A and B are shown apart, each in its own frame.
Chain A
């Protein structure tokens, strides 16, 4: 969690004030990314998985968790894009867009996994869909 905290500050969060908000964001990120992985696999394996040292093979759940983690961080990262815009809306303050982005990324990742699972099970019935599954798999190995 403190890794996240330091990381976020290094990424440009305010240093001297709004510690609480930053801490909340890092807690959220920890909860969404590292925590489920650690619970599922243990600390060392989780770290190895996250840094790409170890591959997850064909374990769908771990694959989902790692994907969750990556997309959550990506979402939080992308969320920061809207902060400098001058729409003057109340939600444009630090760190609400990053919150929303992280949650959105998490959601998207889950939806993708579910989608992929349904497709795969459907593909067993209708072989036409195999091509789609193949494409999805390719995409994920690219990442």
Chain B
């Protein structure tokens, strides 16, 4: 098992396991049920009740109805009383209206304070939409929404599934909407008339409502035949909620506002009397409010809202006076659908409000049957009690239809109601509940993986692990079979433990169902447990020498503590929303520390130098330290700090200060177009310079790479001109097709890559063939001289087993491949970035280069003569990770789904292609981390003195990266589990979870790429060897 921990890519494998554990966690956290989007038709209505035929269409018909749905935002239950709303109270008293207690599903999200410029409207809009999403979704589709509904729809909040409005529209009913424009965004194209109010100003609580009421007189007046002009009217009043947010539920403004609402109710009810058909008025709140004013939690005052039902004629409330029975918010949807003559929406799980059910027993029972039948088709298990109850009810109904016995009808009604209630409960529960067993297992697994990664990392940091292991390995070989047996024994022990656990916890989780499908993940989980057990075991046994960690200096401690603290800080919601603050804070501190350290060293150096040359000679190591960086490092570093201060103002991110204007807003203003273009040009050109600088690590034969890089940059400029981001004197470029330009760009990058590989295969062949021809122009292809030196060796000692400088060339290949990767990535990111963000790319490069210079332990620590490569690799990896995160936030990303930039997904694409769009969006969003880690690996390759050391460094770096990733996953999954009922679970915790998932996928991808490069080195080496052998023969 020592091999397991010694293996170079164990860290990578463990990271992949971490990803799978995260998938398991997500499976438990987000219930897999999302809405089928099935559309319902009237023909779906059952025409046979247990074999007895009934004309569904005719019985279902509710007659001509006109429905007015009046949503008063923030109307909580105790507001709808005679004290606050006298007219409505009067209606309730004389039984011409019914009141229900309706339960809204928590959480609803608090209102953001938005007074932002145009560019940020979209983000704010998104947050606001999520605000209303759940309530409107529940009322219109009749089903409880899950986070998957939001996440799968991000950017486009339109409801794709079935809804009341879709049903009404398909039946040719006219729907009208006055009020909050979120409705329009949710159901685009389904309204015949609308006036959406945008209410970004919470301080406005009169205008938003007047904008709704002003249409009422016109729309409520029937035409000459006393026919109302619409079938379905939605009114959404926001004023009450705004007052609540501003001043709380005890404000003096609440009362007049409720009186105003009461007037509206009176107006509608009076108008309904004049119509020639039934008018139904539903008044409800979408959520309540706390006494302090906010909403979003799950306290009774927030989730209990009144639902008032009034009908214009022949209606008397069947319920006794008082608070009224409890219904669910999802019941609104099938009720309205039925009233409008449509079938219940496809995903609805509710039932028709009892007060509105007709008196006629046959129709009454039929409606109950339709609802129960509809619910039972939504993947309900058939072995449950309520399903049997439903079947019994159906039998009784059929019996009633056949014989007309009233007693059968009565029994049937009772059975239907009972089973309907249970069904609705069950269906809502399965959408809301968490699979705690899966979550627990996933967290345990993540913990184990994090621990074993810690051991693997510590093991790889041991300085001596390179040499003496080979001998031990051979000694272990004899027990190979024993090991396998031991492995399986442990495997079965864990399997047995898991099975016992399943039975002890009595969980309903799918994992424990032991069916053939779920046994695969079950086995994989057990396998993971076993692997981590072995890794930890060997880790505990084999880690002996950690003395190299004593060399850590203050900055390293800052880095390590900062990284750990960052993980833990997620226990505060604000630290998730404002995660950028944490990173900015740490980064500033780090920069300050480095500044002080370098300053001290430079001052010491200068004073010594000024005092006399002799002392400098006495302290040669100080001199040597200085020569690598030079005195100019201090002003450079100061400039870097200033640059970071500037980049920080570029994009406001997070939640609380999002509305503040930032530099990007200023740059995007039309009058500042010149500065924006200047940013664009400076950013692109300095990236070009950086790329050209990197070319010296590549095999730049005949300057082909230079030419190609410049061509790629030129095509980026062409793209910018063609997409109108940049003005130019060349008019005809504007007419070029951006898609073609981008295709050319891709082609250039691919050519560069292929060329690089080919040149290496050819190169090796060349040095085996004509080694002495150093003067010919062909052999000048190599930028490096070492291959020649080695090949000469080969001729002096032809009997050597490995005559070619294989390791040397491999290292060179890896070096150039990783620089090529960095270059290409920079160019791609520049192509994808928004114009004002292009400046970020060279800044990342600059920061990485300067930081790795300054963080060098040989420079900073006064003690000399120690081996610093271990601590160097720790600090360098961590600092590159920090840089990555820093730029991730500089770029304007945040932990909310709203900040995902959809525009970048479509660069150079004609039509939607999910994979490509997702890849682009991911690379754009994670440009910072990607570039920083590419720079890290390129830097490692550039500084590694020989191949084995390079492999060791890479291994350490990947282990550290993987450890950090799994560590933050582990902490965050605990946080998410602890706060799973928190009111921010949708707006803060779940998006961050998705971001973490994407980040993990990308780090797997990144480390995979590094592995590929190494593999590539081996393959090309092998290919080259074949070529050479062939040519030699």
Binding site for B on A (CB under 8 A): 7, 9-12, 15, 51-53, 77, 80-81, 83-86
B588: A residues at CB distance < 8 A: 10-12
Task: Kindly name the residue among A11, A77, A83 whose own CB sees the greatest number of chain B CB atoms within 10 A.
Answer: A11
Q: Given the known inter-chain contacts A51-B599, A52-B600, A84-B656, please indicate yes or no for A10 contacting B642, CB distance below 8 A.
A: yes
Instruction: For residue A55, give the distance in angstroms from its CB to the closest CB of chain B.
Output: 13
B51: A residues at CB distance < 8 A: none
A11 to B584, CA, bound (A): 8
Instruction: For residue A109, give the distance in angstroms from its CB to the closest CB of chain B.
Output: 19
B654: A residues at CB distance < 8 A: 84
A77: B residues at CB distance < 8 A: 589
A-B complex: 8 closest residue pairs judged by Cβ atoms = A84-B578, A84-B581, A86-B574, A85-B574, A11-B588, A10-B645, A51-B600, A84-B574
Contacts A9-B645, A53-B603, A86-B574 known; 9 new A-B pairs at CB < 8 A? A7-B592, A12-B585, A51-B599, A84-B654, A84-B656, A85-B574, A86-B573, A86-B577, A86-B656
Instruction: For residue A52, give the distance in angstroms from its CB to the closest CB of chain B.
Output: 6
Instruction: For residue A20, give the distance in angstroms from its CB to the closest CB of chain B.
Output: 19
A80: B residues at CB distance < 8 A: 585
Instruction: For residue B609, give the distance in angstroms from its CB to the closest CB of chain A.
Output: 15
Task: Using C-beta atoms within 8 Å of the partner chain, give the interface range for chain B.
Answer: 20 to 34
A12 to B352, CA, bound (A): 57
A11 to B645, CA, bound (A): 7
A17 to B641, CA, bound (A): 20
B600: A residues at CB distance < 8 A: 51-53
Task: Kindly name the residue among A7, A51, A53, A86 whose own CB sees the greatest number of chain B CB atoms within 10 A.
Answer: A86
Name B615-652 residues within 8 Å CB distance of A.
641-642, 645, 648-649
A85: B residues at CB distance < 8 A: 572, 574-575
Which residue of chain B has its CB nearest to the CB of A48?
B603
Instruction: For residue B283, give the distance in angstroms from its CB to the closest CB of chain A.
Output: 32
Which residue of chain B has its CB nearest to the CB of A13?
B645
- A53 contacts B604, C-beta separation under 8 Å: yes
A84 to B584, CA, bound (A): 12
**A-B contact list, 7 entries, CB within 8 Å:** A7-B592, A80-B585, A81-B585, A84-B577, A84-B654, A85-B574, A85-B575
A126 to B600, CA, bound (A): 41
Instruction: For residue B586, give the distance in angstroms from its CB to the closest CB of chain A.
Output: 11
- B599 contacts A84, C-beta separation under 8 Å: no
Please pick, from A10, A51, A52, A81, the residue contacting B641 in the complex, using a CB distance under 8 A: A10
Query: Within 8 Å of chain A (Cβ to Cβ): is B596?
Result: yes
B574: A residues at CB distance < 8 A: 84-86
B648: A residues at CB distance < 8 A: 12
B572: A residues at CB distance < 8 A: 85
- A12 contacts B584, C-beta separation under 8 Å: yes
A86: B residues at CB distance < 8 A: 573-574, 577, 656
Which residue of chain B has its CB nearest to the CB of A52?
B600
Instruction: For residue B863, give the distance in angstroms from its CB to the closest CB of chain A.
Output: 15
A83 to B574, CA, bound (A): 10
Which residue of chain A has its CB nearest to the CB of B657?
A84
B599: A residues at CB distance < 8 A: 51
Which residue of chain A has its CB nearest to the CB of B579?
A84
A133 to B645, CA, bound (A): 43
Instruction: For residue B791, give the distance in angstroms from its CB to the closest CB of chain A.
Output: 52
A103 to B774, CA, bound (A): 71
Which residue of chain B has its CB nearest to the CB of A85?
B574
Which residue of chain B has its CB nearest to the CB of A9?
B645
- B603 contacts A51, C-beta separation under 8 Å: yes
B575: A residues at CB distance < 8 A: 84-85
B604: A residues at CB distance < 8 A: 53
Instruction: For residue A4, give the distance in angstroms from its CB to the closest CB of chain B.
Output: 12
A80 to B589, CA, bound (A): 12
B656: A residues at CB distance < 8 A: 84, 86
Which residue of chain A has its CB nearest to the CB of B565?
A81
Instruction: For residue A17, give the distance in angstroms from its CB to the closest CB of chain B.
Output: 11
A81 to B578, CA, bound (A): 11
A84: B residues at CB distance < 8 A: 574-575, 577-578, 581, 654, 656
Which residue of chain A has its CB nearest to the CB of B604?
A53
A81 to B654, CA, bound (A): 15
A7 to B581, CA, bound (A): 17
Instruction: For residue B592, give the distance in angstroms from its CB to the closest CB of chain A.
Output: 8
Which residue of chain A has its CB nearest to the CB of B569?
A81
A10: B residues at CB distance < 8 A: 588, 641-642, 645
Instruction: For residue B113, give the distance in angstroms from its CB to the closest CB of chain A.
Output: 11
A83 to B582, CA, bound (A): 11
Instruction: For residue B638, give the distance in angstroms from its CB to the closest CB of chain A.
Output: 9
A83 to B603, CA, bound (A): 36
B645: A residues at CB distance < 8 A: 9-10, 12, 15
Name B930-953 residues within 8 Å CB distance of A.
none
Instruction: For residue B650, give the distance in angstroms from its CB to the closest CB of chain A.
Output: 13
Name B204-248 residues within 8 Å CB distance of A.
none
A31 to B645, CA, bound (A): 26
Instruction: For residue B567, give the distance in angstroms from its CB to the closest CB of chain A.
Output: 16
A84 to B581, CA, bound (A): 7
A9: B residues at CB distance < 8 A: 645
A84 to B649, CA, bound (A): 16
Name B702-745 residues within 8 Å CB distance of A.
none
A84 to B572, CA, bound (A): 10
A15 to B599, CA, bound (A): 25
Task: Kindly name the residue among A9, A10, A51, A81 whose own CB sees the greatest number of chain B CB atoms within 10 A.
Answer: A10
B592: A residues at CB distance < 8 A: 7, 11
A53: B residues at CB distance < 8 A: 600, 603-604
A12 to B649, CA, bound (A): 9
A141 to B339, CA, bound (A): 81
B573: A residues at CB distance < 8 A: 86
A85 to B577, CA, bound (A): 9
Which residue of chain A has its CB nearest to the CB of B648?
A12
Which residue of chain A has its CB nearest to the CB of B649?
A15
A80 to B588, CA, bound (A): 12
A53 to B602, CA, bound (A): 11
B578: A residues at CB distance < 8 A: 84
A12: B residues at CB distance < 8 A: 584-585, 588, 645, 648
A51 to B656, CA, bound (A): 37
A51 to B603, CA, bound (A): 10
Instruction: For residue A120, give the distance in angstroms from its CB to the closest CB of chain B.
Output: 27
A58 to B856, CA, bound (A): 32
A99 to B24, CA, bound (A): 46
Instruction: For residue B580, give the distance in angstroms from its CB to the closest CB of chain A.
Output: 9
B603: A residues at CB distance < 8 A: 51, 53
- B596 contacts A51, C-beta separation under 8 Å: yes
A15: B residues at CB distance < 8 A: 645, 649
Instruction: For residue A80, give the distance in angstroms from its CB to the closest CB of chain B.
Output: 7
A111 to B844, CA, bound (A): 44
B641: A residues at CB distance < 8 A: 10
Instruction: For residue A43, give the distance in angstroms from its CB to the closest CB of chain B.
Output: 15
A83 to B581, CA, bound (A): 9
A7: B residues at CB distance < 8 A: 592
A15 to B645, CA, bound (A): 10
B584: A residues at CB distance < 8 A: 12
Instruction: For residue B896, give the distance in angstroms from its CB to the closest CB of chain A.
Output: 14
